[in-house]
Amino acid sequence: MSKNRVSRRQFLNYTLTGVGGFMAAGMLMPMVRFAVDPVLQAAGESDFIPTKQKVAEITETPTRVDYTYEQQDAWYTSEVTGTAWVYKDDKGEIVALSPVCKHLGCVVDWNTDKSNPDHFYCPCHGGLYTKDGTNVPGTPPVASLDVFPYKEKDGFLYLGKAEPRKEA
Amino acid sequence: MKWISQDIDMFLKEKQYVDTAVLPLLPVSFGDDIKQSVAMTEFISLLSVQLERQFRGRLIMLPGFAYLKSASEDSLIGGLGQWESELKVQGFKHIFLLTSDSMWKAFEGQLEGGLIWLPSLPLEHMDENYRNSILDDQVKQLLNLFVQKWQNGE
């Protein structure tokens, strides 16, 4: 028999401390997790939506780029398709324009009006925008087309949320 | 614009720019042709959503004219006629009726609005991507039709 025998009193003390420790940890751990949670959340990444457009294949002619994302409408989630007009400007920089007319929200098309080639044309009320998205005076729209912030990742184009263009 | 309060506020403000009303015709039947009437209704509903998105500034998409396939043709045409005359009174220059039901084709002459008939496609057997691209193609054809009618009317 060893010298330090565990007495009944000691045994009960050890067990109670152990069980109490478990209970305290069970209560504290979720609390700590909740407190830390905002820090652990992935930041910013989800704001950019991937498209199927390869950055290397973007030309100087505006092309339609479709992308899909999930839109949450209260408890109903639906898949929504969005469109952007994407091209490279003279300096080789990518420009991604929103196709939504600033007049009443129709969808504009590139180069479809025969009397105004190389313009964005809105079929609803004849709104015109130049290639860089500036509205042509004398047509109904009062502002330039919105611009998407973009990112390049693994050779593909990622689009953010369209923003009104800052006046130059 | 859709028939929702947010869009109607815009409609009231910008009334002079909205000269087109689109009324989808949606058949309902519980007889032998129940599947067919569902397919037609589904197809036209999906199409009208896309159409509204493209032309939301100039047209108002009405909630749809649902009718029973078993009702008599006279009453259906009479009912639709009431819609048309009301829309006319309200000042819409262009009225489009969107349908997959070939029954209306026979009465085209009695209708005042432009009847657009599209054969419904068996969307139920398609996966979503394929379905969307097919719908896109259909909508593109519709867009041309609308633009043409608008240009002729001016």
Closest residue of chain A to B16, computed from CA coordinates: A125
DSSP string, A68-121: EEEEEETTEEEEEEEEEEEEE-TTS-EEEE--B-TTT--B-EES--TTSTTSEE
Whole-number Å distance between alpha carbons of B110 and B78: 10
> What are the tens digits of pLDDT across the range B65-123?
999 999 988 899 999 999 999 999 988 888 999 999 888 888 888 887 788 898 888 87
> pLDDT 10s per residue in chain A (168 long)?
566 788 899 999 999 999 999 999 999 999 998 888 877 776 555 578 888 888 888 888 888 888 887 777 667 777 777 888 888 888 888 888 888 888 888 888 888 777 778 888 888 888 888 888 888 888 888 888 888 888 888 888 888 887 887 654
Residue spans of the domains in chain B: they are 5-147
Specify the length of chain B in residues. 154
Write down the mean pLDDT value for chain A.
Answer: 83
**Contact at CB, B57 and A124, closer than 8 angstroms:** yes
Reported ipTM: the value is 0.72
Residue spans of the domains in chain A: they are 1-41, 45-159
Q: Is A146 left (phi over 0), alpha (psi -120 to 50) or beta?
A: beta
What is the distance in angstroms between the Cα of B75 and the nearest Cα belonging to chain A?
35
Residue A25 is predicted with a pLDDT of 95
A80 touches chain B (CB under 8 A): no
**Contact at CB, A104 and B150, closer than 8 angstroms:** no
At B75, which amino acid appears? S
Whole-number Å distance between alpha carbons of B119 and B20: 23
Chain A residues lying within 8 Å of B151, measured CB to CB:
none
Helix/strand/coil (H, E, C) string of chain B? CCCCHHHHHHHHHCHHHCCEEEEEEEEECCCCCHHHHHHHHHHHHHHHHHHHHHCCCCEEECCCEEEECCCCHHHHHHHHHHHHHHHHHCCCCEEEEEECCHHHHHHHHHCCCEEEECCCCCHHHCCHHHHHHHHHHHHHHHHHHHHHHHHHHC
**What is the token pair recorded at A37?**
């949670």
Fold of A45-159: Rieske Iron-sulfur Protein (2.102.10)
Interface of B with A (CB under 8 A): 10, 14, 17, 53-58, 128, 132, 143, 146-147, 150
Q: What is the CATH number of domain B5-147?
A: 3.40.50
Specify the length of chain A in residues. 168
- φ, ψ for residue A56 (rounded to 5)? -65, -20
